[in-house]
Amino acid sequence: DIQMTQSPSTLSASVGDRVTITCRASQSISTWLAWYQQKPGKAPKVVIYEASSLENGVPSRFSGSGSGTEFTLTINSLQPDDFATYYCQQYNSDSWTFGQGTKVEIK
C-alpha cells in the first residue's frame, strides 16, 4: 500500500502569514492527490484536487503543487477562517490513503 507522510504535524502561524504543508508518497502517484480542510466537528472539505487544481469556491490564496512523490499545499496570507487541520490523500492505487494531518493553529 502507498503510505503518505505529511509534515509538519502542527504549524503555528499568524494571520497574514504564508504557510506550506508537505506531503510525501511512498511511491509515485502522478498527480492523484487531494488536500482536505477539516474544522472541529465538521466533515472534511476538499480544497485542492489533482495536486494543483483549486476546488470550486475555495479562495485563491490556497494553492497546491507537486507530482510523483512530493507535494505541497500553500496558503498565502493566512486568514482566521483557515485555522483548521489539513490532510493530503492519494487516490492513485487500489487504496486511498490519507496523511496524518497538519493542524494549523494560531500563534
Partner 1 sequence: EVELVESGGGLAQPGGSLRLSCAASGFPFSGYEMHWVRQAPGKGLEWISYINARGTDIKYADSVKGRFAISRDNAKSFLFLQMNSLRGDDTALYYCARESFHGLDYWGQGILVTVSS
Binding site for partner 1 (CB under 8 A): 1, 34, 36, 38, 43-46, 49-50, 53, 55, 87, 89, 91, 94-101
Residue 27 or 77: the one with the smaller Cβ distance to partner 1 is 27
Nearer to partner 1, 74 or 97 (CB): 97
Least Å distance, CB 5 to partner 1, is 12
Closest approach, Cβ 51 to partner 1, in A, equals 10
- Decide whether 17 or 103 has the Cβ nearer to partner 1: 103
Q: Which pairs from 89-92 meet CB under 8 Å and 24+ separation? A: 89/4, 89/33, 89/34, 89/35, 89/36, 90/2, 90/4, 90/25, 90/29, 90/32, 90/33, 91/29, 91/32, 91/33, 91/34, 92/2, 92/29, 92/30, 92/32, 92/33
